[in-house]
Amino acid sequence: MTYRLFEGKDHASSYWKFRISPSDNLIQQVLDFLEKHKGHPFELAVDVGCGSGQGTVLLAKHFASMVATDVSPAQVEMALQHSKEPNITYKQCVAEELPLADSSVDLVTAMSAFHWFDRPRFLQEAHRVLKPRGCMALLNYTMDMELSYPDCCSQTLNQICQEFYVALVPYRSAHLGSNSIELYREAYKSLPYPDKEWHECVRVKRPMPLSSFMGFVESFSSYQTLVREDLQKATVLSQDFSHRLMSVMKVSSAETEVEVSVRYYCLLACKPEGA
């Protein structure tokens, strides 16, 4: 079954403001794979589980047309508010039932979304809509984000981060298992496509205010689950986390800029001719 989360307007807004989108280099890696196995023209791409659309707009400039889908009306609304690209069409639908014709799509992507889908059904649906030699790219990042700040011990900062992540483990969805990366590895192994690649340790670094980093981690599904169960506990956990980081950094403002390093991984696969 599909897990329906991230559907509130406040959560959709947090996604738009704080989520770290893939880097240009990572997007280029996807495009290079498509170029190698299918070639031009790049006519139609579909971004499934697009959320508020940050990844969608990065891809859209490379395709004649782009369809972006999400199960959440609030996420689609947020994407429409911020995306003015004329070649993008946003649709609300489940990932396993795409409103697209058979063998019509050059590239299917899911960025930080595949782990929430009914994964076997989605892979079947992606296979249905892909053209022969069309490609699929499933991207996500790990929870071990790293912080750095000038003249500050990164090891101490990241130990504090790890303690915060550990505190959220009891609120993690059982659907995700202990580590989402294993779901992607499992999909990679199960895909019966001869042309496929697995990439890890693709680092994406972003400077941002500490307050934005806090907004980012507060948008995690596990933190949002804690908010629903015990708002006061969630608030205290977040405030304590922020204060400890500022103490180590020796700053008094949460608007102090830090560098956040996120480790992406991705599955790239090409649908064979005649499949």
Report the CATH number at residue 165. Answer: 3.40.50.150
Torsion sign (Cα): 167, 170, 175, 180: positive
Q: Does a structural domain hold residue 4? A: no
Distance in angstroms (rounded) separating the CA atoms of residues 262 and 254 = 20
Domain extent at residue 229: 9-271
Q: Does a structural domain hold residue 59? A: yes
Q: Quickly list H helices, 90-153.
A: 119-129
What is the per-residue pLDDT across 14-36, written as a single tens digit (0 to 9) for each? 544 556 778 888 899 999 999 99
Q: Does a structural domain hold residue 35? A: yes
Poorest-pLDDT segment among 2-6, 88-92, 98-102, 220-224: 2-6
What is the per-residue pLDDT across 38-47, written as a single tens digit (0 to 9) for each? 999 999 999 9
Q: Does a structural domain hold residue 2? A: no
- Give how many domains the chain has, as a whole number: 1
Q: Quickly list H helices, 22-141.
A: 24-37, 54-60, 73-82, 119-129
Q: Has residue 6 got a pLDDT over 80? A: no
Name residue 257's beta-bridge partners.
209
Other beta carbons within 10 Å of 82: 11
Q: Is 178 buried (19+), middle (13-18) or exposed (0-12) by CB count in 10 A?
A: exposed
Q: Has residue 37 got a pLDDT over 50? A: yes
Which is higher by pLDDT, 43 or 112?
43
What is the per-residue pLDDT across 169-198, written as a single tens digit (0 to 9) for each? 898 888 777 778 999 999 999 999 999 999
Which is higher by pLDDT, 239 or 78?
239
Distance in angstroms (rounded) separating the CA atoms of residues 65 and 105 = 10
Q: What is the pLDDT of residue 60?
A: 94
Q: Does a structural domain hold residue 1? A: no
- Which residue matches tokens 């296979």? 127
Q: What is the pLDDT of residue 203?
A: 83
Q: Does a structural domain hold residue 3? A: no
Q: What is the pLDDT of residue 265?
A: 93
